Structure 1
Amino acid sequence: MTAPPEALLQRMLAAPDELIYLVMAVAALLENLVPPVPADVVILFGGFLLGQAGGRVWLAALLVWLSNVAGALVVYGVGRRYGMRFFAGRWGRMLLRPGQLSALAAFYARYGFAVIFVSRFLPVFRAVVPIFAGVSRVGLWRTALPILLASGLWYGGLIYLGAAAGENWEAIWRTVEAAGRGFYMVALLLTLALLWWWWRSRRAEPEH
């Protein structure tokens, strides 16, 4: 994605701060529910707009942080409440068999904090990992704490980076874009590893 042209940028700079806060917060919330939402780009650019307009960057960081954490905990709660019921049914068993669910729960029990923390920096995994933390019955605070920490670091960093960009906006945009491609590559490799685990563990457990 390229930086917006100058004419469009000037129109965006004229937007009221309250609208920018709202768009940033909604993007941070929705990325937990709809993974393709480009929240990182929206939030970085929102930080830049606020920095140029003299807006309250700290307020944007707080709203984005709380919205993102709230969205993650909503999907965690859905997974915790309805996950096992879903996977006990026909469609759920087609996705994950009981042995696979047990292995997943054991993995979360051992590495849950680190997995949840790291996942907040990876596209798509941000939305998926909290759901399965709920399915695996990871405790609320053991789930919430790494989300609080990682989301604060990531989105706070993006917002303040954007706000401080000034005339270096193009260079910072390219740097963040390159970092984003790196994170997507890591997410892709992890997805391939998970698919390999899913296939092997499924073959090892005959369907009943």
Structure 2
Amino acid sequence: MTTHSFATTVADWAIGLMEALGAPGAGVAIALENLFPPLPSEVILPLAGFTASQGTLVLWQVLVWTTAGSVVGAVLLYALGAWLGRDRLRAIVDRMPLVKLEDVDKAEDWFNRHGDWAVLIGRVIPIVRSLISIPAGVERMPVWRFLAFTTLGSGVWNTLLVGAGYLLGDQWHIVEESVGVFQKVVIVVAVLLVVWWLVKTLRGRQDQDNPRHARQR
């Protein structure tokens, strides 16, 4: 399935939900989008805004329900992270090649120092906006703080995309194209970071296996 046909399928599905349930249908769609990141919010949200511009839905209700849907989806992923927990995560990592427990310790330390900002800013970054809830659950970030920053970040993201769809009218798909470029940049950066981490890890392993080479360096 091509990207265009997938977006069309998602749009038809979202329209069906909104026709059946009204503004809550948009909230259901966004809750599912949080749980399944391949569902693009850059299609669902502008389309909901466009639908509101046609008078079929009420704009403020769309904003309330989509933000509520974002929070529900995020809470479910937070619960998954909390169920996984530090002990299970460390046990899994301990069996994985190339990944060290000290990497987990560093990640935990970073999240404990920057968790609030990570959740807040992560909610406006494609892909990250869903996944950031899991480490928040693993680290048992206080629920009230998680809800506060998730609601704020999601509200900003949803308002921007729904508002753009409302203003653009039948040109709402422009939002999808623009956010799609942003998402590709995020993916490229993530891939580069993974490659950098793999190279660094493999070099570290080689230095451990060849201590004389490590001293020369």
Q: For the superposition of Structure 1 and Structure 2, which TM-score range results when normalised by the shorter chain?
A: 0.7 to 0.9
The one of 62, 68, 71 equivalent to 2:70 is: 68
Contact 1:47 1:161 in 2 (8 A): yes
Cα displacement (A) at 1:140: 1.9
Q: In the aligned structure 2, how far is the partner of 1:50 from the partner of 1:140? A: 32
| Cross-structure match for 2:108 | 105
SS of the residue aligned with 1:165?
helix
TM-score using structure 1 length: 0.78
- Residues 114 and 57 of structure 1, relative CA distance in 2, 3 Å threshold: same
Provide the residue aligned with 1:180 in structure 2. Answer: 180
TM-score scaled by length of structure 2: 0.75
- Summarize the alignment of residues 34-183 of structure 1 with structure 2, pairs less than 5 Å apart: 34-90=36-92, 93-94=95-96, 96-166=99-169, 169-170=170-171, 172-183=172-183
Cα deviation 1:31-54 (Å, max 9, x = unaligned): 221110112211211210121135
CA contact under 8 A between 1:17 and 1:55: conserved in structure 2?
no
- 8 A contact 2:123–2:150 mirrored in 1: yes
1:138 Cα deviation from its structure 2 partner: 2.3
SS class of match (2:182): helix
Preserved contact between residue 105 and residue 137 of structure 1 (Cα < 8 Å): no
Superposed displacement of residue 16, structure 1: 6.6
Identical aligned residues as a percent: 25
Question: Does the C-alpha gap of structure 1 residues 77 and 43 become closer, same or farther in structure 2, counting only changes over 3 Å?
Answer: same
Contact 1:116 1:143 in 2 (8 A): yes
Counterpart residue number, 2:211: none
Would the alpha carbon gap of residues 67 and 195 (structure 1) be closer, same or farther in structure 2, given more than 3 Å must change?
farther
Secondary structure at 2:35 match in 1 = coil
Cα distance, 1:129–1:204 mapped onto 2, change above 3 Å: farther
Output the CA distance in 2 between the equivalents of 1:151 and 1:15.
20
Task: Give the corresponding residue for 2:189.
Answer: 189
Amino acid at match of 1:119: G
The aligned length equals 198
Unaligned residue ranges in structure 1 (runs of 5+): none
Question: Is the 8 Å Cα contact of residues 74 and 133 (structure 2) preserved in structure 1?
Answer: yes
Query: Counterpart of 1:37 in 2: which secondary structure?
Result: coil
> Runs of 5+ in structure 2 lacking a partner?
209-217
Answer whether contact 1:20 1:46 (CA < 8 A) is retained. no
Offset at 1:198?
Answer: 6.0
**More relative contact order, 1 or 2 (CA 8 Å, 6+ apart):** 1
